[in-house]
């Protein structure tokens, strides 16, 4: 009973607020927005890509580490959808609802899938498509906590331009991982800014927010491209 009394006194003296809760597992503070004090920085472990024109295509990975975040971006022929994303270690991947974008003129479709905790030892990731898959890009991130999808978006059938953009994603917490992808006839480069281009698979854009300490707020990737219509998708993950 003395332990309980001391706990009450400590809470009262420290003016513990209802919205500031102590997580019993890692002793980090969760604020009213649902963000937590950083337990460490996320790290990009690897990013790999593959392209082809087939109902099933794959990408080869260095053996994955258990518990890491895996994000898989898929480009396919529209109208179509990815019916499955799988790997050779039995990881379960989930489509991020709201990231399916289409550019009808070029018959492009984009989607983002993820696994918040990949199984150890995956070396091949495959996507099966209802028409033809065209490209697959896979990112593995080491994260201090299991990833939670914070937001997602898509832009479909966008007007002809030489500067395609990603959907604007407004992150709730500092240090989120953001993936942004775009498909058009020919992407040439990503514009200087807060995103890093990770692949040129099938001459499209595949990028991530570079800074593991990026502040909460709006984030948009912009590419330079040959003049054409485009589609794009993006998603953010709370990991700290």
Task: Give the model confidence (pLDDT) of 45-73 as tens digits.
Answer: 999 999 999 999 999 999 999 999 999 99
Spell out the long-range contacts of 12-18 with Cβ–Cβ below 8 A and sequence spacing 24 or more: none
Gyration radius of the chain's alpha carbons: 20
Selection from 183, 92, 100 nearest residue 134 by Cα: 183
Query: Could you tell me the residue ranges of all domains in the chain?
Result: 43-238
26 vs 64, residue with greater confidence: 64
pLDDT at 66: 98
pLDDT over 50 at 10, yes or no: no
Whether 21 has a pLDDT exceeding 70, the answer reads: no
* pLDDT of the residue at 12: 36
pLDDT confidence of residue 22: 31
Using alpha carbons, list the distances in angstroms from residue 138 to 18, 50, 93, 159, 196: 40, 9, 12, 28, 14
What SS3 class is residue 154? strand
Contact 18, 7 (CB under 8 A): no
Residue 15 predicted with pLDDT over 80: no
Task: Tell me which of 10-14, 103-107, 144-148 is least confident.
Answer: 10-14
Q: Which residue matches tokens 């595949």? A: 206
Q: Give yes or no for a contact between 140 and 67, defined as CB atoms under 8 angstroms apart.
A: no
Instruction: Using pLDDT thresholds of 50, 70 and 90, give the confidence band for residue 141.
Output: very high
Distance of alpha carbon 127 from its chain centroid, rounded?
Answer: 17
pTM above the 0.85 mark? Answer: yes
pLDDT at 33: 66
Q: What pLDDT, on a 0 to 100 scale, did the predictor assign at position 32?
A: 59
User: Which of 89, 81, 97, 76 shows the shortest CA–CA distance to 125?
Assistant: 89
Per DSSP, the three-state class of 53 is strand
First to last CA, the chain: 35
137 pairs with which residues across the strands? 49, 73
């Amino acid at each position: 009973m003395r332990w309980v009394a001391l706990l009450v006194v400590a809470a009262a003296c420290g003016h513990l607020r209802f919205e500031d809760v102590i997580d019993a597992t890692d002793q980090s503070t969760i604020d009213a927005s649902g963000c937590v004090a950083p337990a460490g920085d996320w790290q990009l472990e690897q990013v790999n890509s593959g392209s082809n024109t087939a109902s099933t295509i794959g990408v080869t990975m260095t053996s994955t580490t258990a518990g890491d975040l895996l994000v898989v971006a898929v480009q396919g022929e529209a109208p179509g959808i990815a019916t499955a994303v799988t790997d050779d270690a039995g990881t379960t991947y989930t489509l991020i609802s709201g990231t399916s974008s289409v550019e009808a003129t070029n018959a492009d479709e984009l989607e983002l899938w993820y696994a918040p905790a990949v199984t150890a030892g995956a070396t091949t990731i495959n996507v099966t498509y209802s028409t033809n898959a065209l490209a697959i890009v896979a990112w593995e991130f080491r994260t201090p906590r299991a990833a939670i999808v914070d937001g997602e978006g898509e832009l479909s059938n966008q007007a002809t331009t030489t500067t395609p953009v990603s959907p604007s994603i407004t992150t709730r917490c500092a240090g989120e991982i953001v993936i942004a992808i775009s498909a058009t006839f020919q992407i040439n480069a990503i514009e200087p800014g807060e995103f890093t281009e990770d692949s040129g698979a099938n001459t499209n854009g595949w990028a991530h927010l570079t800074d593991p300490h990026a502040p909460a707020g709006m984030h948009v990737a912009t590419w330079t491209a040959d003049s054409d219509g485009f589609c794009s998708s993006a998603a953010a993950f709370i990991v700290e």
